[in-house]
Amino acid sequence: MTKEQKHHSLPALEKKANEIRIDLIKMLEHAGSGHSAGPLGLADIFTALYFEILKHDPETPEWDERDILILSNGHCTPVRYVTMAHAGYFEKKELMTLRQFGSRLQGHPERLRLPGLETTSGPLGSGLSQAAGMAMALRMDKAQHRWVYCIMSDGEQDEGNTWEGAMFAAKYKLNNIIAIADRNNIQIDGPTEVVMPLENLRDKWEAFGWHVVEIDGNDIDAVIDACNMAKAIVEKPVMIIAHTVPGKGVDFMEYDFHWHGAPPNHEQAVKALKELRTLGGKIRSEHE
């Protein structure tokens, strides 16, 4: 929520997520490169964060009372860009500059170029430690009413740095961190359980001293509930394992790891947009 503390109805949030997916497809097609599956799968989580959970102000990105959102898996930045545009950080037409020379919307997010990004990321596994450093600094400053959210991919659970950060956050009981792992089961080379098995992921995080919650990451209500619940856990940092469908909303992209790092061509984009617009109709018809 923003400074004005606006709340949105669930149908309104679901509609927003669908609009974000539509703009994602348009943007990725225009860019001609970029990641499709992860951003589509994360659209519901980003909608929940920017329109309901986060304390932030698009007019004042550096607002010193804001919550922090770290995107550790920087390749999913298209969904952050689209959500930020919808939230009012910049005009939507700028989305069409993604990955172009001179654009503020770099292929992987660069903090110095676009106000509102909290760090520069892309190389995987280092977001959680930065979130932990921020949480630690906030604790030193007795500013624990500010929350540090860290979105991670499941593929980056392969990285050693991730687990170094996990141990650190547990050691210092950094209960002002809420991590969200996008468990979509794919990475570039294939299914995560083939490339480098992660299961039992929940047990791993619990063994590392975290409080773990598992949710359907494409259920906006569940995302909001999990984040609210996480704030009540005081003795441990919280990991929300969010099961998402990669490519969510576009039938021919869903569950297909080939869409991890590829954008739609024009024909595919037309097909995807048609489907998303139809789905938008379904969501409205369900809730109205």
Partner 1 sequence: MSEMHLAHSWDTLEPIRKGFGKGLLEAGKRWENIVGIVADLTESTQMHLFAEAFPERFVEVGVAEQNLVTVGAGMAAMGKIPFVSSYAAFSPGRNWEQIRTTIALNDRPVKIVGSHAGISVGPDGATHQMLEDIALMRALPNMVVIAPCDSNEAAKATLAMAADRQPNYMRLAREATPVFTTEHTPFEIGKAYVYKEGIDVSLITTGTMTYQAMEAAKILAKDGIEAEVVHVPTVKPLDERTILASAHKTRHVVTAEEGQINGGLGGAIAELLGEKLPTPMLRIGMKDRFGESGQPEELLRHFGLDADHIALAAHHLLLDHTNHKH
Residues forming contacts to partner 1 in the complex (CB under 8 A) are 68, 110-112, 118-123, 125-126, 129-138, 140-141, 160-161, 164-165, 167-168, 172
Beta bridge partners of 178: 149, 238
Report which residue type is found at 275: E
Q: How far is the CB of 171 from partner 1 (least distance, A)?
A: 8
Residue closer to partner 1 by CB (options 143, 270) is 143
Q: How far is the CB of 140 from partner 1 (least distance, A)?
A: 7
- Indicate the helix (H) or strand (E) that contains 83: helix 77-87
Residue (36 or 175) nearer to partner 1, CB: 175
Nearest 5°: the CA angle 64, 144, 239 is: 110
Q: How far apart are CA 122 and CA 150, in angstroms?
A: 14
Q: Identify which of residues 114 and 213 has a Cβ nearer to partner 1 in the complex.
A: 114
Alpha-carbon gap, residue 237 to 229, rounded angstroms:
12
Closer residue to partner 1, CB minimum distance, 129 or 175 = 129
31 CA to centre of own chain: 20
CB of 153 to partner 1, least distance (A): 16
- The answer to whether 86 and 117 are in contact (CB under 8 A) is no
Least Å distance, CB 97 to partner 1, is 20
* Nearer to partner 1 among residue 121 and residue 184 (C-beta): 121
Least distance (Å) between residue 120 CB and partner 1: 4
Token duo for residue 150: 């860290």
